[in-house]
Structure 1
Amino acid sequence: MGLVFSLILLLMMKSSVLWEIRLWCMMMFSLLSLKYLSGESWGMYNYYMYIDILSSILVLLSFWISGLMLLASYKSVKYNNNKMVLFSSIVLMLCMLIILFFMMTSLLLFYLFFEMSLLPTIMLILGWGYQPERLQAGLYFMLYTVFASLPLLLGILMVGMINSSYMMDMFKYNSFSLNMSFLWLGMMLFAFLVKLPLYSMHLWLPKAHVEAPIAGSMVLAGVLLKLGGYGLMRFLYMFSLMNLYFDELIMVICLWGGVMTSMICVGQSDIKSLIAYSSIGHMGMMAGGVMSKFMCGWEGGILMMFSHGLCSSGLFCMGNLLYEKINSRSLFLYGGLLNINSITSLFWFMMCISNMGAPPFINLISEIMLFMSLYMYSWLFIMIILIMVFMGGLYNLIMYVSIQFGSNMSFYNAMYSENSSEYLLILLHLIPLLLFMVNISYLTKIFMI
């Protein structure tokens, strides 16, 4: 509760160094929220707010990514004085709405904050996007998510009317009879599957990513996709939906989507589009692990949400640094950057191997756990998993090689240089991916209650 009131005070503050104050406060809040990781397994209550081990790791991720969004936008917004105060206020408001979503126990407030998080994101895309096509991207984003979440609202109202309560724990700890067809409950999950996004409902994501500014891409990849994963896990856990007859269909779509988006990534020339499509494959695999109903699938899904949030956000940051220097996102125009800046080349290599799920990053642990759960569900999935692993390595290596090797283009020269804040930005993405390996056993406490 104190963190929420602090965010409201930050929104009202006026100062000549407002940007720096907000940046430091977000990073301090992320360090303060580390205490939630050591919370009890049944969580902590505070009026309508409830934080347990499942939501605490996502609250921490939200604060961390929000602070890094301000750091990444320093050149494009603060340095160019591009509506600086309004931008940082929207970032803070978005962070507050997302954190309230993760901490709600009332289903109606849960839905309210799920929908309200769209508005600041749309404002980021429309206000600070790069090209006129951002209007179409904003429209896609709004229509897909609002249309898909209407059945969720109707379902929540029906559940509340039947059981005279909207509190999540009433369903989790009491054996209420849900007099609703499983088809309708499946329609409620549809809103979260579009937000993930599930393959075949993913068209809004590459469009929104390509047209969004760097902060918009970071929050979309780092946090907003996790709203879908968190909602899916919370609903399956709360309503004990362990015998859905359409979960096989969802799993097949998720895995097939992972293979298809990996193939699309191999043929991409736009670097932001490539990273966006790789997000669809990763989150589809996470949804498949969750729908398998195995413990290692759920734990791997949470770990995938955390690791993918940092890794994908870091890749978008590095793509944006190239865009600011070269003014192009085409992989055909990059090349030979290893000869110009070898430290950035090392960072690119670490981000790429993290994205493909290689040691020493926690992405490896999450992918192993998800693959185990999918194999236990059906041995037939083993071929799809092998193709996904191969294609994941392929498109990440293609991206790395096409950027770093080859001959230098004539329109950039040795003047290409990074500054210390850009190095700091990348390191703040990489260090948590390495440090979380120390506390990997944290996940085993999540669903033991």
Structure 2
Amino acid sequence: MLFSMFYLIFFAGLWSWELRFWFMMLYSFIMMKYFNIDLGGMIEFIFFLDKISSVLLILSFWTSGLMLLASYNCVKSSNNKSSLFSLCVLILCLVIFLFFSVENFMFFYFFFEVSLIPTLFLILGWGYQPERLQAGMYMMLYTVSASLPLLLCLVFLSINMYTYSMNEMKLMSVISLNWWWFFGLFFAFMVKLPMYMFHLWLPKAHVEAPVSGSMILASVLLKLGGYGIMRFLSIFSFFFNYKFMMFLIVVCLWGGFMTSLVCVGQSDLKSLIAYSSVGHMGMMLGGVITGFMVGWDGALLMMVCHGLCSSGLFCLGNLIYEKINSRSMYLLGGMVNFNPVMSLMMFLLCIGNMGAPPFINLLSEVMLYISMYMYSYLLIFFILIMVFMGGLYNLLFYVTVHHGQIMSFMKVSCMNKSNEILLMMLHMLPLIIFMLNLGFVSKVM
């Protein structure tokens, strides 16, 4: 597979876009065999795959293929450096694949940082407005500066333990690290996730990025932080008191509530979807910190659900932008009368985003809420607020766009192309199909 990716990177023929697209879509199906991977994982040379990394790898390949499908109108049809664009997406997919599959600490850190470079090129090269320079600078400064404590901690621990291997350090980890080590190791992942208070780079990057940049940011790059937190919590043992962990969970849930309030008063389509990511990822972090098995399973499931659902909403926002040339929700209304197919798609994705049946999002949120209630019954107050606010801003989002007074220029949006409907269906089908067999998320720890 790696040799195929290297060949496609240096391939510059006439069909380079199509070959790269079909490679990523086919390999997302071929890699489904890793759903049945052994609980102990699989080591091959410097690569290590287990339940967590294999599921996120399949998500990465799937979303990378959908990125090329979503960008067909704005890049391929308009001939906007299409070969270079598909090369950027393929390199980003390769870097993410290596990040999820290496077990050496230095390679882990290296690919964690290198994933920023293709993303920056996507934002700067194919973004919409001049503010994309400021957004790219924000993203680089936030993530690179937060990663320096992680590098120092990893080097110091590896020198003391005489190994750079994650699996060896997991067996040797007998010392209990205090909360200074916790912030040193996890600060970079909290910014990447992003946790509330470290999230200011995310709405800027999302708003200025092209649709493919927003998709890969929401679907995969935020999951690098979640994967790092789950991996490090399984390797290192930390000595905490109950109050510190409780404070951390409350900050995650309170951040979700505050960003939900921002979503309710938001007028920009992409900003609303970007802020909703902060709430979902904060909930996922709270479930992981509780340490319960059901919390870890729910967190992994939440990462997959959010990746597909948020990516689909960004695609829909981009379709509306391409048809109307505006992302303002004040200029939208009554779209259900002219484009009922898009209205149905958006309704399904909105109820998926708020965690309603028949999607797998419902199960992930229920598992996370159970783990937090098991940790402390006092958290039920925050959980109820999160459930209410999640339903509120998603329904407001749908009603504002598709109901109400019909704008005079909305008639331009009545035509749907087959590739647009296919793109939406490819986002929603996994969310429904995985409800038939949830065995792949069981026994994560």
Conservation of the 8 A alpha-carbon contact between 2:323 and 2:413: no
What do residues 385-423 of structure 1 show as CA deviations (whole Å, max 9, x unaligned)?
Answer: 111111100100001011111222112315631100000
CA RMSD of aligned residues (A): 1.2
TM-score, structure 1 as length reference = 0.97
Match of 1:43 in 2: 41
Indicate if the aligned counterparts of 1:336 and 1:407 stay in contact, CA closer than 8 A.
Answer: yes
Paired residue for 1:396, among 394, 397, 416? 394
Q: Which amino acid aligns with 1:344?
A: M
For residues 375 and 106 of structure 1, the distance between their equivalents in structure 2, rounded to whole angstroms, comes to 36
**SS of equivalent residue, structure 2 residue 233:** helix
CA positional deviation for 1:173: 2.2
The 5 Å alignment of 1:198-277 reads: 198-241=195-238, 243=240, 246-277=244-275
Match runs of 1:355-434 below 5 Å: 355-413=353-411, 416-434=414-432
1:158 to 139, 144, 156: 156
Shift of 1:257: 0.2
Amino acid paired to 2:189: F
For 1:187 and 1:256, locate their aligned partners in 2 and report how far apart those are by CA, in whole Å.
23
Contact 2:324–2:412 (CA under 8 A) maintained in structure 1: no
Q: Helix, strand or coil: the match of 1:202?
A: coil
Correspondence 1:249-328 to 2 at 5 A: 249-328=247-326
Amino acid at match of 1:356: M
Rate the CA distance shift 1:262–1:114 in 2: closer, same or farther, 3 A: same
Secondary structure of 1:45's aligned partner: strand
Structure 2 residue 51 is matched with structure 1 residue 53: yes
The DSSP-based 3-state class of the residue aligned with 1:102 is helix
Q: Is the 8 A contact 1:197 1:283 kept in 2?
A: yes
Kept after mapping to 1: 8 A contact 2:339/2:413: no
* Structure 2 CA distance for aligned equivalents of residues 261 and 429 of structure 1: 24
Report the AA paired with residue 40 of structure 1. Answer: D
Mapped to 1, the partners of 2:123 and 2:194 lie a distance apart of 18
Of the candidates 320, 325, 339, which is equivalent to residue 337 of structure 2?
Answer: 339
| Structure 2: runs of 5+ lacking an equivalent | none
Cα 1:175–1:207 change in 2 (3 A) is: closer
* Contact kept in structure 2, 1:155 and 1:185, CA below 8 Å: no
Q: TM-score, normalised by structure 2?
A: 0.98
The AA in structure 2 aligned to 1:51 is L
Partner of 1:187: 184
Is the Cα contact below 8 Å between 2:360 and 2:435 reproduced in 1?
A: yes
Q: 1:24 to 1:242 in 2, by over 3 A?
A: farther
2:413 and 2:129 map into 1 onto residues whose CA distance is: 27
- Following superposition, the deviation at residue 242 of structure 1 comes to 6.5
**Deviation digits for residues 147-188 of structure 1, max 9, x if unmatched?**
11100000000001101101000121234436x544123221
* Identity score, percent: 57
Name the structure 2 match of 1:15.
13
Contact 1:182 1:244 in 2 (8 A): no
Provide the secondary structure at the position in 1 that maps to 2:109.
helix
Once the two structures are overlaid, the 10-residue window that deviates more, 88-97 or 4-13, is: 4-13
Report matched runs for 1:89-168 at 5 Å: 89-168=87-166
CA distance in structure 2 between the aligned counterparts of 1:386 and 1:415, rounded to whole angstroms: 38
- Residue 443 of structure 1 and its aligned partner are, at CA, apart by 1.5
Give, as a single letter, the amino acid of the residue that structure 1 aligns with 2:228. G
Task: Kindly indicate whether the alpha-carbon contact (under 8 Å) linking 2:252 and 2:286 is maintained by their aligned counterparts in 1.
Answer: yes
Shift of 1:83: 0.8
CA gap of 1:121–1:183, structure 2 versus 1, over 3 A, is same
Corresponding residue for residue 170 of structure 2: 172
Give CA deviations for 1:37-88 in whole Å, capped at 9, x if unaligned: 1111111111111111110000000000000000000000000111111110
* Contact 2:297/2:443 (8 A) holds in 1: no
Alignment: residue pair count: 444
Q: Alignment partner of 2:13: what SS?
A: coil
Aligned mates of 1:416, 1:29 — CA distance in 2: 35
1:240 Cα offset (Å): 2.9
Q: Structure 1 residues 244 and 123 mapped into 2: Cα distance closer, same or farther (>3 Å)? A: farther
Q: CA deviation at 1:244?
A: 6.2
In structure 1, how many angstroms separate the alpha carbons of the residues matched to 2:19 and 2:324?
31
